[in-house]
Amino acid sequence: MVILLIGPPGAGKGTQVDRLSQHYCLNKVGTGDILRQEVVKRSELGVKVEGYMKKGKLVPDDIIVDVVTRRMDWGSNCRGYLLDGFPRTKKQAQMLDHLLKERGKKIDLVFNIEVSEPELIRRISGRRVCPKCFRLYHIDYNKPRVDELCDYCRTPLIQREDDREEVVRKRLTLYREETKPLLQYYRRQSKLVDINGNGRAEEVFRQISAYIDSHLSYNSHSNKAELK
Ligand SMILES: [Zn+2]
């Protein structure tokens, strides 16, 4: 089983990826982590990747797809893979489909976590960080005990540049432009499932797992039917 999660910054994708990978025994495959590991290992690929990063360039699609499929070739004791933050573009999606097909695999389900823009802005622009010990807070959901001061070291909290409302709006616009063709690609294949991500993490998990459960039971039924 190969599952893909798509969602804007602030959609709580990381939390869902962690919960789903534990609940269903799925290997998490996140390109960021894998690329960083390769750089640290100083592998042939890592050196290439580092070159792009140093120049401030995006790592090309073919390298990313190569890295991910190699990781999936290692096999696993788990039930499958959960892709996080990859593929990012339609081109990557097409390349990935091709490589999966060569291996007799395919993407089963793609979850698109949708959250309204005001809610995303509230979630992200409310974040605060302690510049000294890097603990994270939120002005609504995870308040420090004393206004705008770190609970541990009493340093005044700051808002990261990336979390400022104007910057968040720009990031969200960019995200929507980038993701639209990707969503269309999976919708045409009838693999896309829209998930309402405005509620609590628990509720989002319940929606996603209901789809996975019905997908799994449908597959086990159709396998039995084939055996007869
Ligand atoms: Zn602190």
Q: How far is the CA of 46 from the centre of ligand 1 (A)?
A: 34
Could you confirm whether 171 is annotated as catalytic?
yes
In a domain, 172, yes or no: no
In a domain, 121, yes or no: no
pLDDT in tens, the chain (228 residues): 899 999 998 999 989 999 999 999 998 888 777 888 888 888 888 898 888 888 877 788 888 888 888 777 766 678 889 998 888 889 899 999 998 898 888 999 999 999 999 999 999 999 999 999 999 999 998 999 998 999 999 999 999 998 999 999 999 999 999 899 999 999 999 999 999 999 999 999 999 999 999 998 888 777 665 554
Could you confirm whether 88 is annotated as catalytic?
yes
Domain count, the chain: 1
Which residue in 41, 42, 70, 160 is the catalytic one?
160
Which residue in 48, 79, 88, 187 is the catalytic one?
88
Q: Rounded to the nearest 5°, which phi and psi values hold at 40?
A: -65, -40
Cβ atoms 114, 197 nearer than 8 A: yes
In a domain, 38, yes or no: yes
Q: What share of the chain is helix, strand, coil (3-state, %, to 5)?
A: 55, 15, 30
User: Which CATH number belongs to the domain containing residue 8 in this structure?
Assistant: 3.40.50.300
Could you confirm whether 191 is annotated as catalytic?
no
Query: What is the rounded distance in angstroms from the CA atom of residue 162 to the CA atom of residue 179?
Result: 20
Could you confirm whether 90 is annotated as catalytic?
no
Q: How far is the CA of 148 from the centre of ligand 1 (A)?
A: 11
